[in-house]
Amino acid sequence: MPKLNRDGVEIYFEDHGRGPAVLLTHGYSAASTMWRDQVAALREDHRVIVWDMRGHGRSDYPEDQGLYSEANTVADMAALLDHCSVDTAVIGGLSLGGYSSLAFHLAHSGRTRALMLFDTGPGFRKDDARDAWNKYALSRADALDRDGLSALSSSDEVQQARHRSADGLARAARGMLTQRDAGVINSLPGIAVPTLVLVGADDTNFLAATDYMAVKIPNAVKVVIPDAGHAANIHQPAAFNDAMRSFLATLP
């Protein structure tokens, strides 16, 4: 199993195909297994890199809470590109993975060829909205501490994942799912790379966020997948893959 060792934390990843690079990041409490259909759809003409965030799947679950953060997630993504000798890539992700893709662009715009944001949001400008989100994230962590892996959500991308324990997921909820400031949402008008914003029509929690990103990101392409929920890539893989491939075909 290929792994990247970054400062003593081993990060599991897979590197498929040849061609322009695409880095896909899964959602919170999911894993790289959620991208199977997308790897199969792209690998003939793209290089597709998928990975497990720290505390998830086949990556390490460090015990130090300080090793779980938005900054470490972004640094892991950059280190994966370095390890694979990739200078620039299409950066995409679902849910937390989509937010992390925006955070990556904020830190590394020069390495971002394009963005693909799936069933996600850009964070919060107002402190009270961010506080409410963080309260939710911390409640997820508390439930995992109390009930173990049985506390995981029933969302399809989560149910596909296999985690060794709930400990890393609880730390990830406290350090990676929580948010600190409005930096990401404030960065949207300055995004100059091509951007796909996609959401499942039944993913009611993220419809408004998708509309907001489609308006705020210059020249963003918005796609709504019918009969799909939060895991739009799993619920309607053919339509999802068609939208993704159509977008990628427009890139210079």
Take residue 138 and report the two structure tokens written for it. Answer: 């911390």
One-letter identity of residue 22: V
pLDDT tens sequence across 79-107: 999 999 999 999 999 999 999 999 999 99
The mean predicted confidence, pLDDT, of the chain is 97
Residue 126 Cα to chain centre, angstroms:
22
Q: Give me the residue label for tokens 């964070």.
A: 123
Mean pLDDT to the nearest integer, 46-62: 98
Rounded CA separation 231/160 (Å)? 11
Rounded CA separation 216/167 (Å)? 37
Q: Are strands 9-16 and 47-51 parallel, antiparallel or unpaired?
A: antiparallel
pLDDT tens sequence across 150-181: 999 988 999 999 999 999 999 999 999 999 99
Question: Could you please report the per-residue DSSP string of 180-211?
Answer: --SHHHHTGGG--S-EEEEEETT-GGGHHHHH
Eight-state DSSP code of residue 17: -
Eight-state DSSP code of residue 143: H
Mean pLDDT to the nearest integer, 169-194: 98
Rounded CA separation 114/194 (Å)? 5
Rounded CA separation 19/228 (Å)? 29
Take residue 180 and report the two structure tokens written for it. Answer: 């600190």
Delineate the domains of the chain, giving CATH numbers in brackets: 3-244 (3.40.50.1820)
> Is residue 21 over pLDDT 80?
yes
One-letter identity of residue 25: T
